[in-house]
Amino acid sequence: MTSQQPDHLSTITQFILERERDRPDATGDFTALLNAIALAGKRISHDVNRAGIADIIGLTGDENIQGEQVQKLDLIANAQLERALAPTGLVCAIGSEEEDEPVPLEKGENGRYVVLYDPLDGSSNIDVGAPIGTIFSIYRRKTPLGSSTNSLEDMLQAGADLAASGYLIYGSSTMLVYTTGEGVHLFTLDPQIGEFILTNSDLKDDNGTRVYSANEGHSLTWDPVDLEWVSQLKEEGYSSRYIGSLVADFHRNLLRGGIFAYPGNNASPNGKLRLLYEAAPLAFIMEQAGGKATDGKRRILDIKPTELHQRTPLYIGTASEVDRIMSMRLEAAATR
């Protein structure tokens, strides 16, 4: 990781306000929006920390639209985000991994933004105390103000049009990372005072560490080229790190260097991860940090979604590592 160490203590609100001061067109709306997400993040962090003692661990018994078992904390996190965003009046609708359809927000008719999120990423790690997270995307609304608020047109935008994206990680500490396209900024929650404090501004991906993160348990279903790629990495002495929470694997690789891969396979050519809630927001951050993200053929940020819950293969991390698997895949496709 390379980054500029802040020379003074700054809360996330002070940091955004300072940056907005340099932009005469800024309305303060974005500050309010990010503050709402930070507030939801603090509440989710609190819930996550108390999960084992508050009877909020375990399954609800329902499945979400993607056929996955829903955990109680998935729904709690989903509700905390909606509850924090709705009163701002800045958001016309939200899209969530835990909601089948876009959800119009009360008071959101004149909201200029749409927000999409994975409320709780890494649900399978909730019960075992491993890091989990929240991933969010903020797009500018495309439909006219005052019109119907849950239009798919507003939701189905390419990552290249993101106004901002970020994530929270609930790990040994709670951190919030975001970008608006002017660098990547990292804040750490000081639980004593309940504020996110700037710890690293303008974070850059470190391309020094030779690490790959993939679920090799699935490797027998992979495309041969993905298998060949991982064998090459092994021969070159790479280490493997995989916890099974995308946020945690991504965050570690962002700070230390490395590549995360969740390839497609014959049964699920688009893999598991969701374009709008997981791949695109993290791709924006990775590119801002100097790294890259691809589905094996295209830049993730160039993919224009056609469905809300669309999945995509994902290779994301240090630029030279992403270039390597991308050229191997393109070469293999050309000779088929």
Judged by the rule CB under 6 A, the positions of this chain that interact with ligand AHG are 68, 97, 118, 121-123, 215, 244-246, 272
- Partner whose binding site includes residue 45, from ligand AHG, Mn ion, none (CB under 5 to 8 Å by kind): none
Considering beta carbons, is residue 187 or 262 the nearer one to ligand AHG? Answer: 262
The SS3 assignment for 53 reads: helix
Residues 283-322 that bind Mn ion (CB under 5 A): none
**Residues 31/100, Cβ–Cβ less than 8 Å:** no
Stretch 58-97: interaction string toward Mn ion, x if CB under 5 A: ---------------------------------------x
Least separation, in Å, of the C-beta of 260 and ligand AHG?
A: 8
Helix (H) or strand (E) holding 247: helix 246-256
Considering beta carbons, is residue 258 or 281 the nearer one to Mn ion? Answer: 281
Contacts of range 106-109, beta carbons closer than 8 Å, 24 or more positions apart:
108/149, 109/145, 109/146, 109/147, 109/149
Q: Quick check: 121 binds Mn ion (CB under 5 A)?
A: yes
Nearest one of 309, 314, 328, 330 to 99, comparing CA atoms:
309
- Partner whose binding site includes residue 245, from ligand AHG, Mn ion, none (CB under 5 to 8 Å by kind): ligand AHG
Considering beta carbons, is residue 195 or 295 the nearer one to ligand AHG? Answer: 295
| Alpha-carbon distance values, 258 to 50, 68, 187, 211, 235 (Å) | 32, 28, 22, 5, 16
Residues in the interface with Mn ion (CB under 5 A) total 4
Beta strand pairing call for 69-71 and 292-294: unpaired
- Within 8 A by CB and 6+ apart from 23, the residues are none
Considering beta carbons, is residue 266 or 335 the nearer one to ligand AHG? Answer: 266
Considering beta carbons, is residue 121 or 205 the nearer one to Mn ion? Answer: 121
Quote the tokens at residue 294: 């691809």
**CA atoms in the 13 A half-sphere facing the CB of 210:** 9
- Partner whose binding site includes residue 166, from ligand AHG, Mn ion, none (CB under 5 to 8 Å by kind): none
Least separation, in Å, of the C-beta of 195 and ligand AHG?
A: 27
Q: Residue 69, Cβ neighbours under 10 Å: how many? A: 14
Least separation, in Å, of the C-beta of 118 and ligand AHG?
A: 5
Considering beta carbons, is residue 16 or 314 the nearer one to ligand AHG? Answer: 314
Least separation, in Å, of the C-beta of 123 and ligand AHG?
A: 4
**Chain Cα centroid distance, residue 177:** 9
**CA atoms in the 13 A half-sphere facing the CB of 120:** 28
- Partner whose binding site includes residue 68, from ligand AHG, Mn ion, none (CB under 5 to 8 Å by kind): ligand AHG
Considering beta carbons, is residue 122 or 159 the nearer one to ligand AHG? Answer: 122
Nearest one of 320, 333, 322 to 260, comparing CA atoms:
322
- Partner whose binding site includes residue 215, from ligand AHG, Mn ion, none (CB under 5 to 8 Å by kind): ligand AHG
Q: Which of 47, 118, 205, 295 binds Mn ion (CB under 5 A)?
A: 118
**CA atoms in the 13 A half-sphere facing the CB of 90:** 20
Contact positions vs Mn ion (CB under 5 A) = 97, 118, 120-121
